[in-house]
Amino acid sequence: MKNRFRVGEVAKLFQLSPSTLRYYDEIGLFQPKYTDTDTRYRYYTVEQFAVLDTIIFLKKNGFSMKDIMQQLENRTPENTKGLLERKLGEIEEEMERLKKVSEEIKSKISTIEEGLSLSATPSLVYRWFPERAISYLYNDTPIDLMKESEALIVKDLEDLSSAGVGYDGFFTGDFGAAVEIDSLNKEGSVKYQSVFELLHHEKEGLKTSYLDSGMYACYPHRGPYETIKSSYSFVIKRVQEDGYRITGAPVEIALLDESVIQDKTDYITWIQIPVSEKD
């Protein structure tokens, strides 16, 4: 039986590239065992194949070159068990992280789908919402967001940085605002008494508040934020005609915003006004 194999032969047998074997040779991880004294050709032997199997297994399962070298130099059942247990812990942590990433991405897909659906068939509907977790970015004297939004963004970034709270970035469906309802009946821009982040999952370091559960009159405003007052006029009139009364501050959710749309005329801002039936 043949017992000596050149680099190309071993590479073919183990479905590796010759350059990979040469690299292992250069760093001293896996080197040919036999050198022909006449030709100076170097050969691997069958006895070495178990070591190469170990390297391939560990490499394909995410172990670092440092881990693999240490394993080959200190092969005992105890050391091997410890190496595998550490990697298993890393993998389980990564699986948990990826699970959260998957849930976040699914949530964004759902947000975009809802925005597209509302854009295609805009209509006023009455919808019950459960209590929703939020974190206030601003909650004070009513302001004109068209003038103050940039300053709020900078302040929020500064606050997060100084508090040591991790920053994950914002994406469509993350922002909302509560309207000062009196401003809807006055000349000029809509005023906002608060701006908030919708918390799709718990975030360490952020104070959690909640939007009230209840029935909301919902309508998708299509277009730039500056033109939203016309949509409020339509919704408030319909609410009254439908026998409802407004019970609290209107809420806006930015469903499709600049993170997914370039043209402001296609923005979808979901107006949600808390209501109850008239007595």
Domain limits of the chain?
Answer: 4-75, 111-277
Structure tokens at 178: 């509560």
Q: Which of 193, 196, 200, 274 is nearest to 236 (CA)?
A: 274
Q: Which fold has domain 111-277?
A: Multidrug-efflux Transporter 1 Regulator Bmrr; Chain A (3.20.80)
What pLDDT score does 132 carry?
Answer: 95
What pLDDT score does 128 carry?
Answer: 97
169-203 CB burial, b ≥16 within 10 A, e <16: eebbbbbbbbbbbebbeeeebbbbbbbbbbbbeee
CATH class belonging to 4-75: mainly alpha
What pLDDT score does 186 carry?
Answer: 87
4-75 and 111-277 share one CATH topology? no
Could you give the CA distance from residue 239 to residue 181 in angstroms, rounded to a whole number? 14
Q: Which residues of the chain have pLDDT under 70?
A: 1, 160, 163-167
What pLDDT score does 137 carry?
Answer: 87
What pLDDT score does 1 carry?
Answer: 64
SS3 assignment, position 98: helix
What pLDDT score does 231 carry?
Answer: 96
Could you give the CA distance from residue 228 to residue 168 in angstroms, rounded to a whole number? 29
